Structure 1
Amino acid sequence: MVQTDSFADDTVTDRFHLPLMAILPALLATSGCISMAPDSAGPGIAAEVPASFPGADQAGVYDPAGWWTAFEDPVLNRLLNEALDRNLDIAEARARLQAAEAQARISKSGLFPQLNASLGSSYSDSPLAGTGFGAGGNVGTQRLEVETYTSGLAFSYELDLWGKLRNEARAGRADAFAAAADLQAARLAVLAETITSYFDLVDARHQIVLTTRIIDVLGDRVEQTENRYQRGLVSSFELYQVRQDFRNIQASLPQRESQLAAIEGQLAVLVGRYSNNMDELLRAGLAPKLIFTDIPAGLPIDLLAQRPDVRAAGQRMEAARFTVGARKADQFPALSLSASTGTQSGTPSGVFDVMDKWVLSLGANLTAPLFQGGRIRAGIAVADAQYAQQTAVYARSVLNAYQEVGTAIERYEEERQRYRFLFSQLGEAKAAADLQSRRFGTGVGNYVDYLDALRAQYQVQSQLSSAGRDVALARLAVHRALGGSWDQPAPESRETIGDKSSGTPDPASRGDE
């Protein structure tokens, strides 16, 4: 009879376990294969973008690394390297990336089983069960003291039948990729701002030198006009006009010096220094090269994908898409498996008696949402709206990027043309000043005409200095719009400020020597 009962119990147990063991491999195999995330809108947005950018003369290949070295200025390179190492905006973006990567690991952890260990003890002291009275009607004093010691391992695992956990992990990973792109965007912005400030600094120093020279010329001009006025050769109106020009240019010098100090302060912030510690970096002569190479014709639209802001927007769109899939999976049942084992004893040493005192518990839990007050549907609606929002952001970023590249290329061409015109004008101004110098030396001309010609030359040099800065910044705008640079098949047509072999003069160089 005992044997029969034992056989019956084993049969019931086998009947319970066999179906579960039969379907468990199938459940594990299909876990995560289903994804309720919608199709990505990225390919459709990219398909609408033109295949190339208009303008320029030759083909090129993208190369984002070290594009700023084309300016061939060791001072600028040192500033940029220090900015990449010390800039606080980059440090902030780097910390955000670290947080996003950690959050991605948290999102991914749901895909794996959870295993926990426990070790505990408890103590209870209670009176014995009964009337509470001892012999002879006295109140009983017997009590029950119990000490319990336990140890255990608990295992749990949620089967990802509908792709919820996998979509959440993918969303976390996409957010981390977006944060990485944000870091690259911060680096690019800091590089661009540092280069801009550097060329502003170069131009500001040139302008101060040229303004000082114009002040000297106008000082001589005032003196000559006063002498001629005393001899009755010029009117008082002309004298007042010359004096007014002299005072105006004198008044501009403090303003230019103030602008120079502000630029140096801005540059110090970009490289993570205080302004009084910048002399070491800026003590050397500043002579960046101007780059006049053509922009490659028909730059492939794939270059837009290198822009970090476009990449970040695309990854956030993908994160929102995966979140939609995770929220849709909330509508369906969730199946989780659990198992626990351990020991229980009345003595501390007994918890390690695994052979005699161990316990085992196995379980499976199926949970299906029946009524949530509209929470699940509202969550899906929120996810859908956020995905639509991020899709619009991504489409706008692609559109803006394309327009910015076209605008930057056009501006670069215009600034190059303007620089060439001013360069030709400077040659004519120098020729006029040289002619007046020779005329004055031979007694044919007068000193006033020479001073006027020299002043005109300095004014053109001032315009050329600003034009050189504008060419560099226009070139920088192309690099920034593309998120970097490209390989040129032949690095030609480069001209250098202050390099006589290039034919491009230093805008602050003297033309009267």
Structure 2
Amino acid sequence: MYKRNQYKIWGFALLYMAYSSCKIPAIVQKNENKSTPNTYANSGSDTTNLAAIKWKDYFKDQYLTNLIDTALQNNQELNITLQEIEIARSEVRARKGELLPSVGIRAGAGLEKVGRYTSQGAGDATTEIEPGKEMPDPVPDFMAGLYANWEVDVWHKLRNAKKAAYTRYLSSVEGKNFVVTNLVAEIANSYYELLALDNQLAMVRKNIALQSNALEVVKLQKEAARVTELAVRKFEAEVLSSKSLEYQIAQQITETENKINFLLGRYPQHIARNVNSFDSVADQFPVGIPSQLLANRPDIKQAELDLIASKLDVKAAKAQFYPSFGITGALGFQAFNPSYLVKFPESMLYSIAGDIAAPLINKNAIKASYFAANAKQTQAVYQYERTILNAYIEVANQMASIGNLKKTYDLKDKQVQALNQSINISNDLFKSARADYLEVLMTQRDALEAKLELIETKKQQLNAMVKIYQALGGGWN
């Protein structure tokens, strides 16, 4: 009767545990939207894509590719990211280890003195280990053995945690690829900025030479009483202004070189470059179709993997509501005298036990973990969709920028040609006293500004060439 009641109690306990574990709070999960437009604006359905070109083939300048090669070896941010990959790989190993039994070795020694008038003390006093040899008092204790415990992963809690860790490892790899893409683009943009500054510096120095010649002419005219001292001072001030601009550009060149050196992980030194690369702007930029972004852009693939990992986290958190099953065991030898440890099987000890545990009351911590995991999963969905949208907009912006910059450059080029002609005309008119010196100065100033803007527009074209390649997902391969 007693055993029957005991079985009933255990049965009711197991049923209540099963019921309480199955009663899981309901949540609303959000599914991601992977759809993209079929084509980009003003583009066809050609699948030829810049992103398929390796960066060594995309950038033709050998000096630039050498810089990128050095950066991929020495850049500190990239090396920090590589260590994050190692951290993620170690997490995978840790999660994989949780699936296996935990086995350890244990050894110890102790001394115990119990009261004579206790059950244990009385028993020890009347016990003979061997004829005529009583138990020692106090009793030493020596033990050596193996112990193990294992959680049986019935609900795939540990498996899902391991899959989540592995997915995050893959995500860290894509994160590294994204860092590489940005690094390649940043070096290329800085390199073209350096070439632009070189051209601007050469233009300013050429302009200083022209202004200096004009200043000498004005000085001669002043001696001939054709102009006043005011004209001389105005021309002199313009020369000084251009010389000041020369030093400003020289400082920008130094800072840009040092920026590149920093990206390369080295101390300041001269950056070798090919000045002829400044005029090499590609005419065609095949962008493919928007759906290719999902496969080409590392940040999109990283966001997708983070989303998969967050879904696995929800499953692992959900399994916390279910009963857990564990098995523990031990095997070894124990005796009060080290010489008895080798006596088999008298000194042998072993144990094996199984247990089941499930949360019954006050499951707030488990619920909180479950709701937090779901919130992170929803957050990952929005982040994934946001990354896709951002990638599409980046490509669309750069496509528009390439077209508009080409038109801007053509107009700026015509403006420079017109102002160059204006300089010659104003000089001739000034020499014949048919134009004021201020007109000459303003024409020279406008021409210099237009030439500098033309160089800046060319730099923006080169930057757009880099950015469209980056936006499409090129640069990491």
The TM-score range, normalised by the shorter chain, is 0.7 to 0.9
The Cα of 1:185 is off from its aligned counterpart by 1.8
Q: Which amino acid aligns with 2:217?
A: Q
User: What residue ranges of structure 1 are gaps of 5+ in the alignment?
Assistant: 1-35, 133-141, 488-513
Q: Which amino acid aligns with 1:95?
A: Q
Task: Give the corresponding residue for 2:312.
Answer: 322
CA contact (8 A) 1:37 1:324 kept: no
Secondary structure of the 1:288 match is: helix
Task: Give the corresponding residue for 1:81.
Answer: 69
The Cα of 1:309 is off from its aligned counterpart by 2.0
Q: What's the CA shift string for 1:332-357, capped at 9, x where partnerless?
A: 11112233322224444654556664
CA contact (8 A) 2:181 2:476 kept: no
The Cα of 1:330 is off from its aligned counterpart by 1.0
Provide the C-alpha distance between the structure 2 equivalents of 1:291 and 1:38, rounded to a whole number of angstroms: 54
Task: Give the corresponding residue for 1:407.
Answer: 397
Q: Cα gap change, 1:422/1:321 in structure 2, threshold over 3 Å: closer, same or farther?
A: same
CA contact (8 A) 1:335 1:365 kept: yes
Provide the C-alpha distance between the structure 2 equivalents of 1:224 and 1:46, rounded to a whole number of angstroms: 70
User: Quick one: percent identity of the two aligned structures?
Assistant: 21
CA contact (8 A) 1:207 1:462 kept: yes
CA contact (8 A) 2:142 2:334 kept: yes
1:172 aligns with 2:176: no
Q: What's the CA shift string for 1:21-62, capped at 9, x where partnerless?
A: xxxxxxxxxxxxxxx9999966x4112x21332345754146
Task: Give the corresponding residue for 1:376.
Answer: 366
The Cα of 1:82 is off from its aligned counterpart by 1.0
The Cα of 1:415 is off from its aligned counterpart by 2.0
1:194 aligns with 2:187: yes
User: What residue ranges of structure 2 are gaps of 5+ in the alignment?
Assistant: 1-24, 122-134
Provide the C-alpha distance between the structure 1 equivalents of 2:54 and 2:471, rounded to a whole number of angstroms: 16
What is the aligned-residue RMSD (CA, Å)?
A: 3.9
Q: Which amino acid aligns with 1:363?
A: A
Secondary structure of the 2:322 match is: coil
User: Counterparts of 1:37-116 in structure 2 under 5 Å?
Assistant: 44-47=32-35, 49-56=36-43, 59-61=47-49, 63=51, 66-116=54-104
The Cα of 1:369 is off from its aligned counterpart by 0.9
Secondary structure of the 1:46 match is: coil
The Cα of 1:475 is off from its aligned counterpart by 0.9
CA contact (8 A) 2:333 2:349 kept: yes
The Cα of 1:300 is off from its aligned counterpart by 4.1
1:251 aligns with 2:244: yes
CA contact (8 A) 1:436 1:453 kept: yes
Provide the C-alpha distance between the structure 2 equivalents of 1:252 and 1:343, rounded to a whole number of angstroms: 88
The Cα of 1:370 is off from its aligned counterpart by 0.5
CA contact (8 A) 2:323 2:359 kept: yes
Q: Which amino acid aligns with 2:184?
A: L
Q: What's the CA shift string for 1:112-167, capped at 9, x where partnerless?
A: 2222233x1323153772699xxxxxxxxx96143433332223322222221122
The Cα of 1:429 is off from its aligned counterpart by 7.2
Provide the C-alpha distance between the structure 2 equivalents of 1:263 and 1:270, rounded to a whole number of angstroms: 11
CA contact (8 A) 2:29 2:374 kept: no
Provide the C-alpha distance between the structure 2 equivalents of 1:257 and 1:327, rounded to a whole number of angstroms: 59
CA contact (8 A) 1:108 1:172 kept: no
Secondary structure of the 2:34 match is: helix
Q: Which amino acid aligns with 2:196?
A: D
Secondary structure of the 2:33 match is: helix
1:213 aligns with 2:212: no
Task: Give the corresponding residue for 1:307.
Answer: 297
Provide the C-alpha distance between the structure 2 equivalents of 1:483 and 1:404, rounded to a whole number of angstroms: 11
CA contact (8 A) 1:56 1:294 kept: no
Secondary structure of the 2:362 match is: coil
Provide the C-alpha distance between the structure 1 equivalents of 2:68 and 2:287, rounded to a whole number of angstroms: 29
Q: What's the CA shift string for 1:418-453, capped at 9, x where partnerless?
A: 33444566677788999999x99xx9xx9x999999
Task: Give the corresponding residue for 1:261.
Answer: 254
User: Counterparts of 1:348-497 in structure 2 under 5 Å?
Assistant: 348=338, 350-351=340-341, 357-423=347-413, 461-484=451-474
Q: Which amino acid aligns with 1:296?
A: P
Q: Cα gap change, 1:274/1:486 in structure 2, threshold over 3 Å: closer, same or farther?
A: closer
